[in-house]
Amino acid sequence: MLRRAPLSFAAAKRLLQMSADVDLRSGMLAESLAQSALLQSEDHREGLAAARDRRDPTFKGA
Amino acid sequence: MRSSAVEPTLLANREGGVLTLVLNRPDRRNAIDPELRDALARALDDAATDAAVRGVVVTGAGGAFCAGGDLARFDELHDARVYRHVSHRLTELVESIERLEKPVVAAIDGVVTGAGLALALACDWRVGSPSARILFREGRVGLVPTHGGLTRLVKLVGLARAKEVLWAATTSTPTPRAPRGCSARSLERATTSSRSRARV
């Protein structure tokens, strides 16, 4: 669990908790807003690079 | 353009009242590019108004269901507004399955992940072949499931099960060692109210 990218784990946890309480439309808007921020993270770029190089990613929470 | 004129990215075949839609980009594990997205949207729209169609089966070609959005295209989506605009169309496609007032079955063989999983979760039933594998791989690239991939999962299986499925395993092979709730079969059981007769 701790090897996961901290920012996406954080977002996923909040989204999961929220999903139990809100309607689908609100949930999907929150997913989209979170994703648009995560797409600009260094960890996302590192994850893509690692996938392309077939190596384990090193995430730093930025 | 891709070789779409030669091989369509979506195959449609009606037998009796059942329309089978085959996602057909096997070289990309049937990842949904804009062309496939639009073709699927049209096919579902037609299915809604065609009285000869009584039910729809969505499946994938070449031993995969759907690898979601095309990873090769993610580099284009770093602009937040562009991402939200583009992804909204895919979200709408997933929602159109729930608006279609006919039964829709996801027949899953091989990998289902990303937007493909959101698509499968929006169907009324999911049936998996023995090789069906549910992968939440967004976390590996620092992202989260979208297009309702998280929200629908929670609504279908509950919060505890959703966390288990999302975090307990990165791959979800239906082996005895897979944590409870993490195999395709288990998710199929958890999210399906009755067994479908659809065959992969």
Q: Which two tokens stand for residue B25?
A: 């980009």
Mutate to test the interface with B, among A3, A31, A38, A55 (most CBs of B within 10 A): A31
State how far residue B140 is from chain A, nearest Cα, in angstroms. Answer: 6
- pLDDT reported for residue B76: 65
Q: pTM value?
A: 0.83
Task: Classify residue A32: in a domain, yes or no.
Answer: yes
Touching check for B170 and chain A: CB below 8 Å?
no
Q: Which of B20-29, B30-39, B64-73, B190-199 has the lowest mean pLDDT?
A: B190-199
Task: Report all structural domains of chain B as residue ranges with CATH numbers, in order of start.
Answer: 3-189 (3.90.226.10)
Nearest neighbour of A36 by CB, restricted to B80, B145, B149: B80
Q: B78, A40: Cβ pair inside 8 Å?
A: yes
Task: Classify residue A61: in a domain, yes or no.
Answer: no
Task: Classify residue A57: in a domain, yes or no.
Answer: no
Q: Work out how many domains chain A is built from and give that number.
A: 1
Task: Classify residue A29: in a domain, yes or no.
Answer: yes
Mutate to test the interface with A, among B76, B85, B151, B157 (most CBs of A within 10 A): B151
Query: Mean pLDDT throughout B121-149?
Result: 89
Reduced to 3 states (helix: H, G, I; strand: E, B; else coil), residue B187 is helix
d(CA A41, CA A35): 10
ipTM above 0.90, yes or no: yes
pLDDT in tens, A3-57: 789 999 999 999 999 999 999 999 999 999 999 999 999 999 999 999 899 999 9
State how far residue B4 is from chain A, nearest Cα, in angstroms. Answer: 26
Q: Which residues contact A35 (CB under 8 A, 6 or more apart)?
A: B83, B87, B143, B144, B146
| CATH number reported for the structural domain that contains residue A22 in this entry | 1.10.12
Structural domain boundaries enclosing A23: 6-52
